[in-house]
């Protein structure tokens, strides 16, 4: 008996000892049907998640388009006004809502501070 055949016999003995024996054709078919069923469930879940993601993307696009249209309308409205009129509107808003004015100024300052490069290094 060759060395290779001895190794094959040894491996078969170890497989039998560990209950890892080769499957019969019926057992293989049963395992394949279980795998197909399991993969089918995963495939269905993946398709459901894909649909949810597509729906969310459509909602996000519609929301962004709506907000862009609103911003565009505001920009057109502001560009048609005289700068003195804009200053007067801002002063009036600050008189009516001083707390919100401070918060808006702080937010604008923070954003500008993050966007503009700093002078010190």
Residue 99, token pair as written in the block: 């707390």
Q: Are residues 63 and 92 in the same domain?
A: no
Domain identity same for 115 and 72? no
- Per the structure, the count of domains in the chain is 2
The answer as to whether 111 is a domain residue is yes
Q: Is residue 1 part of a domain?
A: no
Confidence class for position 31, pLDDT limits 50, 70, 90? low
Whether residue 16 contacts residue 8, with contact meaning beta carbons closer than 8 Å, is answered with no
Judge whether 28 lies within some domain.
yes
Residues 68 and 34 in one domain: yes
Distance CA 6, CA 10 (A): 6
- Find out whether 21 and 15 touch, Cβ atoms under 8 Å: yes
Give the CA distances from residue 71 to residues 59, 74, 109, in Å, rounded to whole numbers and listed in that order.
18, 5, 20
Tell me the Ramachandran region of residue 19: left when phi exceeds 0, alpha when psi lies from -120 to 50, beta otherwise.
left
Does 75 share its domain with 86?
Answer: no
When comparing pLDDT for 74 and 29, which is higher?
74
Residue 65 belongs to what domain range?
24-80
One domain for residues 62 and 87: no
- Assigned domain for 57 exists: yes
- This prediction's pTM: 0.42
Question: Do residues 109 and 117 touch, judged by C-beta distance below 8 A?
Answer: no
- Flag whether 39 is in a domain: yes
Lowest mean pLDDT among 39-48, 71-80, 83-92, 100-109: 39-48
For 101, residues 6+ apart whose C-beta sits below 8 A from its C-beta are 93, 94
């Amino acid at each position: 008996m060759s060395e290779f055949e001895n190794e094959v016999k040894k491996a078969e003995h170890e497989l039998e000892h560990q209950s890892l024996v080769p499957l019969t054709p019926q057992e293989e078919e049963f395992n394949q049907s279980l795998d197909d069923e399991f993969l089918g469930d995963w495939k269905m879940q993946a398709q459901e998640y894909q649909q949810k993601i597509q729906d969310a993307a459509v909602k996000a696009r519609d929301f962004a388009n709506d907000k862009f249209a609103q911003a565009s309308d505001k920009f057109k409205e502001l560009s048609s006004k005289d700068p003195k009129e804009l200053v007067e509107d801002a002063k009036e808003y600050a008189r009516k809502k001083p707390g919100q004015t401070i918060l808006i100024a702080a937010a604008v300052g923070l954003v500008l501070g993050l966007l503009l490069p700093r002078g010190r290094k």
